[in-house]
Amino acid sequence: MTDDRRQTTDNRSVGGGNGLPSPVVCPPSSVFEYTLRLADNALILGHRLSEWCGHAPVLEEDLALPNMALDLIGQARALYAYAAELEGEGRHEDALAYLRDAGDFRNVLLVEQPNGDFAVTMIRQLLFASYAHPHFEALAHSRDATLAAIAAKAAKEMAYHVRHCGEWTIRLGDGTEESHARAQAALDELWPFTGELFEVDATERALVEAGLAADSASLRPDWDRTIAEVLAQATLTRPRDAWMQSGGRAGRHSEHLGYILADMQFLQRAYPGAAW
């Protein structure tokens, strides 16, 4: 347990009632919730990328995609371990990853979208990483020392994802007629899932004000800039910001998540506690 968190917990007894402004109250359960959101995003997207292993169009990309998957699964492990510690109910990181059902997952809908063709996978990764990179950079300054340390490491990993997927998006968009059409179709298909990335609910707002969480909403201009630069070079058209899908953080998922969990959780469910 970090000093920062103890201090946050202590804050609950201070202020209010005596004319002082009420301090921001952030019970450990809200840090748990936030950590779980980050972990679920990383795990589900990591699983999606791992589905490419052995199926990528060329050897080089067959290594690049699992490399990115392993970055994300590594982030998920660190975050789940911390979430389990915050929860304090003796659950292990594996229980959070493998023994929760779809309604308990807190990932954004973007990361559970199917891999589609190569363009869909690359553009999904670009859209997410361009959000996650500045998010982790900001979170690296969190007053929660554990989250800050995880974020500092993850920020570098996500920076590479932005670069790799950005370069691919440029080449697909500014490539052949077919690659351009597929890249534009992928962008159009995934765009309605980007709004959810920047939602900040009351739980997260309180954590932001307490200096514990990164403020997703304030990162929007960073994301817009990164995406605009890539799309300009890729000669792709930014879709209109119309209706945005939402609900992942409340546990309302697309049907895709159930299939992911069936695949991912089968072993632990069929053989509880199996290890190697």
Partner 1 sequence: MADKNWPLWEVFIRTRNGMAHRHAGSVHAVDAAMALQNARDVYTRRGEGLSIWVVPSAAITASDPADKGLMFEPTASKIYRHPTFYDVPDEVGHM
CA-based max dimension of the chain: 69
Please give, one letter per residue, the 3-state secondary structure of the chain. Answer: CCHHHHHHHHHHHCCCCCCCCCCCCCCHHHHHHHHHHHHHHHHHHHHHHHCCCCCCCCHHHHHHHHHHHHHHHHHHHHHHHHHHHHHCCCCCHHHHHHCCCHHHCCCCHHHHCCCCCHHHHHHHHHHHHHHHHHHHHHHCCCCCHHHHHHHHHHHHHHHHHHHHHHHHHHHHHCCCHHHHHHHHHHHHHHHHHCHHHHCCCHHHHHHHHCCCCCCHHHHHHHHHHHHHHHHHHHCCCCCCCCCCCCCHHHCCCCCHHHHHHHHHHHHHHHCCCCCC
> Any contact of residue 54 with partner 1 (CB under 8 A)?
no
Alpha-carbon distance 179 to 185, whole Å? 10
Looking at the Cβ atoms of 68 and 227, the one nearer to partner 1 is: 68
Of 17, 21, 54, 59, the residue at the interface with partner 1 (CB under 8 A) is 59
> Any contact of residue 60 with partner 1 (CB under 8 A)?
yes
Looking at the Cβ atoms of 1 and 63, the one nearer to partner 1 is: 63
Degrees to nearest 5, angle at CA 47 with 88 and 76: 30
Looking at the Cβ atoms of 58 and 202, the one nearer to partner 1 is: 58
Alpha-carbon distance 118 to 125, whole Å? 11
> Any contact of residue 58 with partner 1 (CB under 8 A)?
yes
Rounded least distance, CB 74 to partner 1, Å: 13
Rounded least distance, CB 46 to partner 1, Å: 16
Contact 214, 222 (CB under 8 A): no
Rounded least distance, CB 56 to partner 1, Å: 11
Q: Binding string, 61-80, against partner 1, x = CB under 8 A?
A: x-xx--x-------------
> Any contact of residue 176 with partner 1 (CB under 8 A)?
yes
Phi, psi of 201 (to 5 degrees): -90, 180
- Only one of the segments 11-19, 22-30, 58-66, 211-219 lies at the binding site for partner 1 (rule: CB under 8 A); that segment is 58-66
- Only one of the segments 55-63, 102-110, 144-152, 250-258 lies at the binding site for partner 1 (rule: CB under 8 A); that segment is 55-63
Rounded least distance, CB 64 to partner 1, Å: 4
Looking at the Cβ atoms of 147 and 170, the one nearer to partner 1 is: 170
Q: Which of residues 90-129 bind partner 1 (CB under 8 A)?
A: none
Looking at the Cβ atoms of 60 and 89, the one nearer to partner 1 is: 60
Q: Binding string, 143-172, against partner 1, x = CB under 8 A?
A: --------------------xx--xx--x-
Count of residues touching partner 1 (by CB under 8 A): 13
Rounded least distance, CB 160 to partner 1, Å: 8
Rounded least distance, CB 197 to partner 1, Å: 25
- Interface contacts to partner 1, rule CB under 8 A: 58-61, 63-64, 67, 163-164, 167-168, 171, 176
